[in-house]
C-alpha cells in the first residue's frame, strides 16, 4: 500500500503530489485516475508476473539463480513479439500469444541444453545455456532495428521497459493472464515443494517431475511473455523477488506464492515511483531502474551462491 501511494504521488506534474491523493481537485483527479493509476496497476502486475515466473523456474530447476531473464525467456518472448511486428501477416496471432510462444520456446531450449530431457538439470549448463539463448534472441531483436526506421524507434523504446503510455485497456489485457497465472501457481505449490526434495523423492510420492518441470516452465514463460509484450524485457525482477519472499516466508511454496505476489507488486511500484522521482520532471524507463537494482543483487548472489559449484 505504501509503495502504491509512492507511485501514485509521483509523476511529471509536480503540482500533483501526495496531498492531492487525499483532496484532489479536478486536474489532480484526472491525472491520478487516467494516467498514474493505470501505470501503477501495470507496474504491480509486472512485478507479480515476473516474480511468479522466477519462483516457478527456481522451483522446477532447484537453482536459485534461475529467472526469466537469466534463462533467456524474456529475450525469447521479445523475439516472438518482434516477429509479429515485422511479419504480422505471416504469423497471424496477437503479440501477447506470440510473446508467450517465444518465451516457451526459449525456456524449452535452455532446459534442453541443461539436460532436462535426461532428467538431470545441470546448474552450470542451465546458466550458460540461458546466456546463449538470450544472446541469440536479443541479437535477432536488434536485427529488426535495421528493417524500418519507425519499427526501430518502437522497438528501442519498448526494449528499455517504458510503461509511461500504459492506460486502462492495457491493465485489462494483462489482468486476463495474470489472475489465472496466480491460481495455477497456487495449484502447483505443493508439487514445487516435492520438487525441492529432489526428483527421486518426488517420484516416490507419485509426482512425475517431468510434468512438474513442463508445467512450471510453461507457467513461467506465459507470465514472462505477457509481461514482455506489455513492457519489454525487464531484467532481474524475476530473480530478486523470489529471494526476498524466501526471507519473509521460508521455503514452503504454499506461502511463497502469495508472498511473492505481494512483494513483486510492491517492488515494482517502488521502482515505478523511483523512475518518476529520480530525474524529475523527466522520467527514466522502469526497466532501467529495475536493472540498476537487480544487477548488483545478481552479482552478489552469484558470488555467494553454491549453485555454481
pLDDT number for residue 181? 96
State CA 153 to chain mean position distance: 23
pTM for the full predicted model: 0.87
The reply to whether 209 falls in a domain is: yes
Cis amide bond preceding 281, omega within 30: yes
Q: What is the pLDDT of residue 111?
A: 84
Instruction: Give the residue among 124, 140, 139, 163 at the shortest CA–CA distance from 44.
Output: 163
* 240 occurs within a structural domain: yes
- Residue 136: the pLDDT is 93
* Alpha-carbon gap, residue 16 to 277, rounded angstroms: 13
- 31, 15 contact by CB (below 8 A): no
Residue 250 lies in a domain: yes
Residue 279: inside a domain: yes
User: pLDDT at position 119, please?
Assistant: 64
Evaluate whether residue 295 is within a structural domain.
Answer: yes
> What per-residue confidence (pLDDT) applies to 308?
47
Which residues span the domain enclosing 295? 2-304
Are 161 and 130 contacting, i.e. CB atoms less than 8 angstroms apart?
Answer: no
The set of cell numbers assigned to 241 is 523477488
Please give the pLDDT value at position 306: 54
Q: Does 69 fall in a domain?
A: yes
Measured distance CA(264)–CA(270) in Å, rounded: 10
Residue (of 127, 144, 89, 154) closest to 308 by Cα position: 127
Per the structure, the count of domains in the chain is: 1
Residue 309 in domain: no
Distance of CA 130 to the CA centre of its chain: 15
Contact in structure between 230 and 157 (CB atoms under 8 Å): no
The answer to whether 228 and 162 are in contact (CB under 8 A) is no
Pick out the chain residues at pLDDT < 50.
Answer: 307-309
At residue 287, the pLDDT reads 86
Instruction: Give the pLDDT confidence of 85-140 residue by residue, as tens digits.
Output: 788 777 777 777 888 888 889 988 988 888 877 766 777 788 888 889 999 998 88
Q: How much is the pLDDT for 307?
A: 47
148 in any annotated domain: yes
The pLDDT assigned to 305 comes to: 62
Q: What is the 3-state secondary structure (H, E, C) of the chain?
A: CHHHHHHHCCCCCCCCCHHHHHCCCHHHHHHHHHHHHHHHHHHHHHHHHHHHHHHHHHHHHCCCCCCCCCCCHHHHHHHHHHHHHHCHHHHCCCHHHHHHHHHHHHHHHHHHHCCHHHCCCCHHHHHHHHHHHHHHHHHHHHHHHHCCHHHHHHHHHHHCCCCCCCCHHHHHHHHHHHHHHHHHHHHHHHHHHHHHCCHHHHHHCCCCHHHHHHHHHHHHHHHHHHHHHHHCCCCCHHHHHHHHHHHHHCCCHHHHHHHHHHHHHHHHHHHHHHHHHCCCCCCCCHHHHHHHHHHHHHHHHHHHCCCCC
Please name the residue that has the C-alpha cell 528499455: 160
Please tell me the distance from the alpha carbon of residue 49 to that of residue 36, in angstroms, as a whole number.
20
- Domain CATH for 113: 1.10.3470.10
Amino acid at each position: 500500500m505504501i509503495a502504491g501511494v509512492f507511485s501514485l504521488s509521483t509523476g511529471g506534474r509536480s503540482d500533483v503530489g501526495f496531498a492531492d491523493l487525499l483532496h484532489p481537485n479536478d486536474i489532480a483527479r484526472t491525472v491520478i485516475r487516467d494516467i498514474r493509476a493505470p501505470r501503477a496497476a501495470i507496474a504491480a502486475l509486472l512485478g507479480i508476473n515476473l516474480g511468479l515466473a522466477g519462483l516457478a523456474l527456481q522451483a522446477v530447476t532447484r537453482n536459485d539463480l534461475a529467472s526469466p531473464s537469466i534463462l533467456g525467456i524474456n529475450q525469447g518472448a521479445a523475439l516472438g513479439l518482434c516477429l509479429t511486428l515485422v511479419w504480422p501477416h505471416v504469423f497471424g496471432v496477437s503479440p501477447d500469444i506470440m510473446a508467450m510462444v517465444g518465451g516457451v520456446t526459449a525456456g524449452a531450449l535452455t532446459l534442453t541444453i541443461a539436460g532436462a530431457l535426461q532428467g538431470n538439470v545441470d546448474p552450470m549448463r542451465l546458466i550458460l545455456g540461458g546466456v546463449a539463448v538470450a544472446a541469440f534472441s536479443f541479437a535477432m531483436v536488434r536485427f529488426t532495428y535495421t528493417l524500418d526506421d519507425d519499427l526501430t524507434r518502437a522497438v528501442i523504446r519498448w526494449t528499455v521497459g517504458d510503461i509511461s503510455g500504459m492506460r486502462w485497456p492495457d491493465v485489462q489485457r494483462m489482468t486476463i493472464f495474470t489472475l489465472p497465472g496466480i491460481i495455477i501457481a497456487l495449484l502447483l505449490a505443493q508439487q514445487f515443494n516435492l520438487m525441492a526434495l529432489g526428483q527421486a523423492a518426488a517420484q516416490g510420492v507419485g509426482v512425475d517431475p517431468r510434468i512438474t518441470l513442463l508445467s512450471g516452465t510453461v507457467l513461467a514463460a506465459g507470465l514472462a511473455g505477457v509481461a514482455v509484450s506489455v513492457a519489454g524485457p525487464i531484467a532481474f525482477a524475476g530473480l530478486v523477488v523470489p529471494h526476498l519472499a524466501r526471507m519473509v516466508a521460508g521455503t514452503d511454496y504454499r506461502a511463497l506464492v502469495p508472498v511473492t505476489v505481494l512483494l513483486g507488486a510492491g517492488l515494482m511500484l517502488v521502482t515505478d515511483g523511483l523512475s518518476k522521482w529520480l530525474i524529475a520532471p523527466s522520467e527514466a524507463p522502469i526497466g532501467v531502474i529495475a536493472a540498476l537494482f537487480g544487477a548488483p543483487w545478481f552479482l552478489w548472489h552469484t558470488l555467494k551462491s553454491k549453485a555454481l559449484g
